[in-house]
Amino acid sequence: MARITLDNLAHSYLPNPSSEADYALKELNHDWVNGEAYALLGASGCGKTTLLSIISGLLHPSQGRILFDGQDVTDAPTAKRNIAQVFQFPVVYDTMTVRQNLAFPLRNRGADPAYVAARVSQIAAMIGMEAMLDRKARGLTADAKQKISLGRGMVRQDVNALLFDEPLTVIDPHMKWELRTQLKSLHHEFGHTMIYVTHDQTEALTFADKVVVMHEGRVVQIGTPQELFETPAHTFVGYFIGSPGMNVIDARIDGTMATIGSTQIPLGAAYRAGPGRVQLGVRPEFVRLATDGIGLPVRLRAVQDVGRHKIVRLDLSGQEINVIVAEGASVSADTNAITFDPSAINIYVDDWRIEPLDYNAGKVGS
């Protein structure tokens, strides 16, 4: 187990990157605290896997250093870093039995046979494959194979970090939940530093203590699930987390008031928006519907009942606005305006969130 430090790290797949756009992973400084579970969340191609490969040593970064417990391992090969990794698609040794597969990483490091046997049966119990230990891995189903991969990743107790690269892609939905829960309890039990790459927000939010959201090769926010929900640092976080994502509307800001079109919107705090594109972000959960025309004028487009709540789709001069209302509430066909909960409004300049001038003002308002 180790603290992992990324120092000034960046990577480009091109030999001579000239502009920032050439970098698959833009400059990054971060400490992965020992023993925490992190999720790397982002859309496909945002640099998650690149970052993971750099940490595991499968890829050498174009610049910067990576340190395990303060020790520079940038040039150390994968085997020296003592990490475990589980890949997106099951990687098993076909001709070995399940038992041999699980024992393989320990045997290669010259572990004591009695210890290997004990550890293998412990892991087998955890992944629920005790009955299949002596079967050849070749004939097993994809999710059984992926469980072997997970088991092989977890069989060593002294690893610096456990890395998961979308490991549950091939697993059945009900099994996914179970395995994720097991991973979490394993994390509590042994306290490994875990880094879990995924593009599934539910997976990220349920698994991790801290979620690292990546967008176009850049880390846009690192925070607890609650922070990501309440104060998305970037419009991408607002859009990517939540279902549906945050409503982002162009606005003009003047102190504690925002102007959208010709409507004034009170804010929970005062802002000073510098030059750039100013936007107002508010999650669908904090939008109220009105039939009296007071607020932003909208047109009702559709109501979707998703079971636990209703999603109301509205039209705000050509832009779609989503609102979540309780399952029991009725949505009037006369809905013609919306208002926002002032304390739940975030202000963005060029996609990045800006802090209110007096931070406490927002709290007082709520």
Partner 1 sequence: MNKTVNQRAWFLVLPVLLLVAFSAVIPLMTVVNYSVQDTFGSNVFFWAGLGWFEQMLASERMWDALGRQIIFSLIILAIEIPLGVFIALNMPKKGFWTSFCLVLMSLPLLIPWNVVGTIWQIFGRVDIGLLGHTLAAMGISYNYTQNAVAAWATVIVMDVWHWTSLVALLAFAGLQSIPDAYYQAAKIDQASRFDVFRFIELPKMAGVLLIAVLLRFMDSFMIYTEPFVVTGGGPGNATTFLSIDLVKMALGQFDLGPAAAFSLMYFLVILLISWVFYTVMTNLDKRDGQR
- Give the C-alpha separation, 135 to 144, whole Å: 11
| Smaller CB separation from partner 1, 95 or 224 | 95
Q: Residue from 50, 85, 193, 346 that binds partner 1 (CB under 8 A)?
A: 85
50 Cβ contact partners less than 8 Å away, ≥ 6 residues apart? 11, 24, 25, 59, 217
Stretch that binds partner 1, among 61-69, 144-152, 210-218, 236-244 (CB under 8 A): 144-152
Applying CB under 8 A, does 149 fall inside the site for partner 1?
yes
Q: Residue from 8, 78, 243, 304 that binds partner 1 (CB under 8 A)?
A: 78
- Give the C-alpha separation, 72 to 209, whole Å: 26
| Smaller CB separation from partner 1, 78 or 317 | 78
Applying CB under 8 A, does 142 fall inside the site for partner 1?
yes
Q: How far is CA 61 from CA 16, 53, 71, 172, 185, in A?
A: 13, 9, 16, 35, 33
Size of the site for partner 1 (CB under 8 A): 28
Applying CB under 8 A, does 140 fall inside the site for partner 1?
yes
Q: Residue from 1, 76, 96, 290 that binds partner 1 (CB under 8 A)?
A: 96
Applying CB under 8 A, does 247 fall inside the site for partner 1?
no
Applying CB under 8 A, does 306 fall inside the site for partner 1?
no
How far apart are CB 91 and partner 1 at their closest, in Å?
Answer: 4
| Smaller CB separation from partner 1, 93 or 177 | 93
Q: Residue from 93, 177, 190, 239 that binds partner 1 (CB under 8 A)?
A: 93
Q: Residue from 16, 19, 44, 108 that binds partner 1 (CB under 8 A)?
A: 108
Applying CB under 8 A, does 329 fall inside the site for partner 1?
no
- Give the C-alpha separation, 13 to 8, whole Å: 17
For binding to partner 1 (CB under 8 A), which residues are involved?
A: 56, 58, 77-79, 83-85, 87-89, 91, 93-96, 104-105, 108-109, 138-142, 145, 149, 152
